[in-house]
Amino acid sequence: MAAAARAPPTAAARVGLLYDERMCAHATPDGEDHPEKPDRLRSIWRKLNAEGVASRYGLSLASARRLRVPLLDSRCVALKAKEAKDKYIASVHSQNHIKLMKDISSKKYDSSRDKIARKFNSIYFNKGSSESALLAAGSVIEVAEKVASGELNSAIALVRPPGHHAEHGEAMGFCLFNNVAVAASYLLNERPDLGIKKILIVDWDVHHGNGTQKMFYKDPRVLFFSVHRFDYGTFYPAEGDASHCFIGEEAGKGYNINVPWEHGKCGDADYIAAWDHVLLPVAEAFDPDMILVSAGFDAALGDPLGGCCITPNGYALLLTKLYASSGSESDIEDVDELYGTVSSVDVTQAADDVLGERLLKMKLDEDNLAMKSISSGSSVEQLPSDSVEEHSKASVFASKRIADLSFTWRSVSSRIYVWYASFGSNMWKPRFLCYIQGGKDSWYSNVLYLGKEDDLPILTMTCPSSDIEKYTSGELPLAPPSKTYAATLIRGLVEGKQLDAVEAAGYINSAAARVL
C-alpha cells in the first residue's frame, strides 16, 4: 500500500518505508505453499536491500533486527508498525468480524480454526493471523497519517495479509481486514485536523477491490478507481459489481470507477491508456487531498494467476504519473523520459530467461494446435511504423482462429455443470469457465478432460498432457493435496451438491492412493 500527499513538504524527509517481520507470522496452518505466503513480503524486503534502498549500514537483515538498526538509506525514513485500535477498524467492519479476527489465533480456536476458515472464501488462519492482521491495518494508518500530516511526501507500507477483498462482516480472498479502507476512514473521520477531505483510492491489483468499493459506494469523499480483470464476470471475485456500470449510489454516484479487462495479457500500454484517458483526467477534476494505492502486483508479467504482463518499468510509470498528478512534480524524474523507457522495453526480457522462453514458446493447445501464440512482448508501440497494419491484421486473424477452434474436452465439458475448487477461486461454474475461456489464449491452456470416475468428471489444469502420461506410467509419483487445499476441494464439491463433506473427503483420500 502506498500513500502520497497533494502538497509536498520539505525535501529532508521524502519517503517513508514500513516493514515488520511480525506480519510474516500469518501463514498456512501446516506450512503448505500458498500464493499469499510470508516469503512474498520477505522477497520485497530482500530486493530493497539488494538494490541499496534499505541497506544504509551494509548489515544483514538478521543483524539489523538484532541491533534494531533501520536498514534505510538517506532517501527513506523508517516507520514502525502499530496495531490498529478496534474503534478505527470498526469504522468499516462489524464488531463480530473484528472480534473473530482478533480471537482466531487464540488457544480456544486451536481445534476449530481450520473449520472456521473453510466457511470463508479463500481464507486460512494460524496462530499468527490475528497479530498480523492488526499490524497490517495499523501500519497503513501509520503511513497515511505521516503523509497527511506533512512529515513525508509519500510512504509505502509492506503489509500482509492484504485487504481489498475483505468486506464489512467477512474475510475473503486472502484478506482479513480492509487495510486501505480502515486508513481512509481514519483520516476522514478521526483526524479532521489533518485537513484530508477528499481521498483517491487507486486499486491496480489484477482482481477487483470488491470490499473497498462497497465500503465507500455512497461516499463522495472517496473516489475509488479499480482496474482489474473481469472476463465477463467470471474472474475472481466473480461479482457483477466489478463492471464499468457500477458507478456509485446516492451522494457517491459518479465516485466509483471500474476499468474491467475482458481478457488477460493486458500490459503497460493498456494500463497507461487507462491512466491517461480515464484515471488522470478524473483525478485532476476530483483534486484529492490524499492518494492511497492498493498496490497488489499480481497483474505483473509472470504471475501465474493474473495472466497480465505489466513490467517493472510499467509499474514505475503508473506510480510516477499518479504521483505527478498529486502536485509533486518537483520530486520526480522526467515522466516523458520514463515513458520512453517503458514503451521501448521488450517485456519478455523483463522476466528471467526461463519465463521469457516459456512466453515465446507458449502454445494454445499442445496436442491439437501447432500455431504459437503471439508473444506478449509484441505491442503496437514496439513495432516499426510500416508493420503496424500487418500486426493488426495478424492479431484479428489469430483471434478469429482461436474463436473458431473446437476442442474435444470443451465439447464434452460444456454439457456438464462443473464445480471446481482452487486457491483464489469461487468454486462455482463462472469461476471454472474463467479458466476454460482463459485457456484460449493465455496461461490456462492446459485443461485436459480425463473422463469420469464414480460419475464425476475428472479434469486437470495443473500439468501438461506429457505429465499425465508420466503419472499414468508411474514415472512421476502421485501425491495427495495439502490439508488446506483438500479442504477447499471438499467445499467446492459440497457447494456443488456433488457429495457431502464425508463423501468428498473419502473420495479425495481414495483417489490420492490410486494410480491413474
pLDDT in tens, 209-265: 999 999 999 999 999 999 999 988 888 998 889 999 999 999 999 999 999 998 888
With beta carbons less than 8 A apart as the criterion, state whether 380 and 268 touch: no
The 10 Å Cβ neighbour count of residue 486 is 18
Q: Tens digit of pLDDT for each residue in 272-328?
A: 999 999 999 999 999 999 999 999 999 999 887 898 999 999 999 999 999 887 765
36 or 441: which leads in pLDDT:
36
Catalytic residues, which ones?
Answer: 165
Average pLDDT, the chain: 76
| 30-44, 80-94, 287-301, 355-369: least confidently modelled range | 355-369
Q: Which of 141-155, 377-391, 422-436 has the highest mean pLDDT?
A: 141-155
Give the global pTM: 0.67
What mean pLDDT do residues 171-189 have?
A: 97
9 or 289: which leads in pLDDT:
289
Distance between start and end Cα atoms, the chain: 45
The pLDDT of residue 56 = 47
Parallel, antiparallel or unpaired: strands 154-158 and 2-5: antiparallel
Helix, strand, coil shares of the chain, percent, nearest 5, are 45, 10, 45
With beta carbons less than 8 A apart as the criterion, state whether 79 and 17 touch: yes
pLDDT-based confidence at residue 404 (cuts at 50, 70, 90): very low
Helix axes 483-495, 501-512, angle to 10 degrees: 130
The 10 Å Cβ neighbour count of residue 293 is 23
Asked whether the predicted pLDDT for residue 407 surpasses 50, the reply is: no
DSSP 144-201: HHHHHTTS-SEEEEE-SS--TT-BTTB-BTTBSS-HHHHHHHIIIII-GGG----EEE
List the beta strands (DSSP E) in 318-476: 448-453, 456-460
The 10 Å Cβ neighbour count of residue 197 is 12
The pLDDT of residue 468 = 72
